[in-house]
Amino acid sequence: MEIFKKVYNAAREKRLMSSCRNHVVRKILPDDYVITKKTVYLPYNRGLKISSEDFVRVAALRLMAYEINESEIEGSVAELGVYRGDFAKYINEFFPDRKLFLFDTFEGFADKDIKDDVKNGYSTGTEDFSDTSLDAVRKKMVYPQKCIIKKGWFPQTTDGVENERFVFVSLDADLFTPIYEGLSFFYPRLVRGGVVFVHDFNNSDYKGVSVAVRKFCKEQKIPYFCLPDNAGSAVILK
Ligand SMILES: C[S@@+](CC[C@H](N)C(=O)[O-])C[C@H]1O[C@@H](n2cnc3c(N)ncnc32)[C@H](O)[C@@H]1O
Centre of ligand 1 from the C-alpha of residue 155, in Å = 12
Q: Is the CB of 109 under 6 A from ligand 1?
A: yes
Q: Rounded to the nearest 10 degrees, what angle do helices 111-119 and 176-186 cross at?
A: 110
Please state, in angstroms and rounded to a whole number, the distance separating the CA atoms of residues 158 and 164: 10
Asked if residue 17 has pLDDT above 80, the reply is no
Who's near 180: CB < 8 A, 6+ residues apart? 212, 215, 216
> What does residue 181 show for φ and ψ, rounded to 5 degrees?
-65, -40
Please state, in angstroms and rounded to a whole number, the distance separating the CA atoms of residues 96 and 46: 30
Q: What b-and-e string marks burial along 68-85, b requiring 16 or more CB atoms within 10 Å of the CB?
A: bbeeebebbbbbbbbbbb
Cβ-based burial of 30 (10 A; exposed 0-12, middle 13-18, buried ≥19): exposed
- Residue 53: pLDDT band by 50, 70, 90 thresholds? confident
Centre of ligand 1 from the C-alpha of residue 18, in Å = 44
Q: What is the pLDDT of residue 9?
A: 58
Q: Is the CB of 86 under 6 A from ligand 1?
A: yes
Torsion of CA 98, 228, 63, 187, to 10 degrees: -40
Confidence (pTM): 0.83
Q: Is the CB of 87 under 6 A from ligand 1?
A: yes
Centre of ligand 1 from the C-alpha of residue 104, in Å = 6
Best residue among 174, 229, 230 to mutate for probing ligand 1's pocket (most ligand atoms within 8 Å of CB) is 174
| Strand 190-199 versus strand 233-237 pairing type | antiparallel
Q: Is the CB of 155 under 6 A from ligand 1?
A: no
Report the candidate in 54, 77, 90, 96 with the shortest Cα–Cα distance to residue 165: 77
Q: How many CB atoms within 10 Å of residue 189?
A: 18
1 or 177, higher pLDDT:
177
147 or 42, higher pLDDT:
147
| Cα 196–Cα 146–Cα 200 angle in degrees, nearest 5 | 30
Please state, for a pLDDT cut of 90, what percent of the chain lies above it: 74
Q: Summarize pLDDT for 171-186 with one digit per residue, the tens.
A: 999 999 999 999 999 9
Q: Is the CB of 178 under 6 A from ligand 1?
A: yes
Q: What is the amino acid identity at position 144?
A: P
Best residue among 103, 109, 126, 186 to mutate for probing ligand 1's pocket (most ligand atoms within 8 Å of CB) is 109
Centre of ligand 1 from the C-alpha of residue 39, in Å = 23
Best residue among 77, 83, 133, 201 to mutate for probing ligand 1's pocket (most ligand atoms within 8 Å of CB) is 83
Q: Which helix (H) or strand (E) holds 92?
A: helix 88-94
Q: Summarize pLDDT for 98-148 with one digit per residue, the tens.
A: 999 999 999 999 999 999 999 999 999 999 999 999 999 999 999 999 999
- Minimum CA distance residue for ligand 1 atom 8: 87
Centre of ligand 1 from the C-alpha of residue 195, in Å = 19
